[in-house]
Structure 1
Amino acid sequence: MNRQFSLAGLLRLRQAEQKSAESGLAAANSRSALLRVRRAEAREALADSAGHAADSASLLAIAAARASSQSMLAELDALAASADADAAEARSEYTEAKQRAVGLEKLEIRHEAEYSASVLHAEQGVLDEIASAAWQRKATS
């Protein structure tokens, strides 16, 4: 049996793909978490901004600021939803890449076990031959 695993190159490629997908998943999760934090901070800031209108001009300014904040929150919600979708897609890609690599890793482990068994079998054959030859020499002496 050949010592070298015949699919070693493909296995390295699959492991590289898995690492790439893993880093893409980490980046997507980081972006999603950052956007969730920004959205929570913006909501908190909006809730804390209780403006007291002294006249109609300040009331209009408060209304404009709230409308702008609501628009910003809507954009953050859309970005967060997009980031969550990207993270889900990256998670799916990582899972697929991991499954492809794991299948080859299992084949490599099986190959190593079979190779080790064949080496042990060959060694046992040599030991048996040596023991048999020694026994026959004793019998003829």
Structure 2
Amino acid sequence: MARTFPLAGLLRLRQIEKDHAASDLAAANALRRDAGDRQASALAALHNVPVDAVDASSLLAMAAARASSRSMLADLTALTARAEREADDAQTAFSAAKAKAVGLEKLEDRHRSEMVALDLSTEQAAIDEVATGAWVREREGNER
């Protein structure tokens, strides 16, 4: 049996894919949090706009500000929804990459266990050979 894990290169590739997927997931989650925070602060700013109109020009300015804010909120809602979808896609990709790597990691662990068992068996055989040789030499010495 080979001393090194025969699929080590593929395992390394799978681990790199998993690390890349994890970094994509972290970036997508950060974007999702940022979009949610921006949406929440825009809503808070909209609620803090004064509602007292003293004349027609201030009423028109408030109407324009509200229309602009609604447009901005619609954009932020779309951005938040897209960030949610991207985060979900990144989570799915990470789970798939992790599943691919886990199977190979288990194979590597089994290979390592078999190598340890083989080493122990070889060592035990050498110890048995030494012990048997000493016993035979002692027996031959007693017969003379």
Tell me, in whole angstroms, the C-alpha distance in 2 between the residues paired with 1:48 and 1:76.
Answer: 18
Number of the residue aligned with 2:130: 130
Tell me, in whole angstroms, the C-alpha distance in 2 between the residues paired with 1:129 and 1:64.
Answer: 95
Tell me, in whole angstroms, the C-alpha distance in 1 between the residues paired with 2:2 and 2:126.
Answer: 19
Runs of at least 5 residues in structure 2 that lack an aligned partner in the other structure: none
Number of the residue aligned with 2:68: 68
Q: CA deviation at 1:54?
A: 1.0
Q: TM-score, normalised by structure 1?
A: 0.98
Q: TM-score, normalised by structure 2?
A: 0.96
Q: CA deviation at 1:67?
A: 1.1
Number of the residue aligned with 1:42: 42
Q: Deviations over 1:34-85 (max 9, x none)?
A: 0000000000000011232111121111011101101110110010000000
Whether 2:78 is the aligned partner of 1:78: answer yes
Whether 2:50 is the aligned partner of 1:22: answer no
Amino acid paired to 1:22: A
Q: CA deviation at 1:140?
A: 1.2
Tell me, in whole angstroms, the C-alpha distance in 2 between the residues paired with 1:41 and 1:139.
Answer: 92
Sequence identity percentage = 51
Tell me, in whole angstroms, the C-alpha distance in 1 between the residues paired with 2:67 and 2:52.
Answer: 16
Number of the residue aligned with 1:119: 119
In terms of mean alpha carbon deviation, does 58-67 or 35-44 score higher? 58-67
RMSD after superposition: 0.7
In terms of mean alpha carbon deviation, does 11-20 or 45-54 score higher? 45-54
How many residue pairs end up in the alignment? 141
Q: Deviations over 1:83-130 (max 9, x none)?
A: 000000000000100111111111101100000100100110111011
Tell me, in whole angstroms, the C-alpha distance in 2 between the residues paired with 1:91 and 1:73.
Answer: 26
Amino acid paired to 1:110: R
SS in 1 for 2:33: helix
Amino acid paired to 2:73: L
Tell me, in whole angstroms, the C-alpha distance in 2 between the residues paired with 1:65 and 1:2.
Answer: 73
Whether 2:44 is the aligned partner of 1:55: answer no
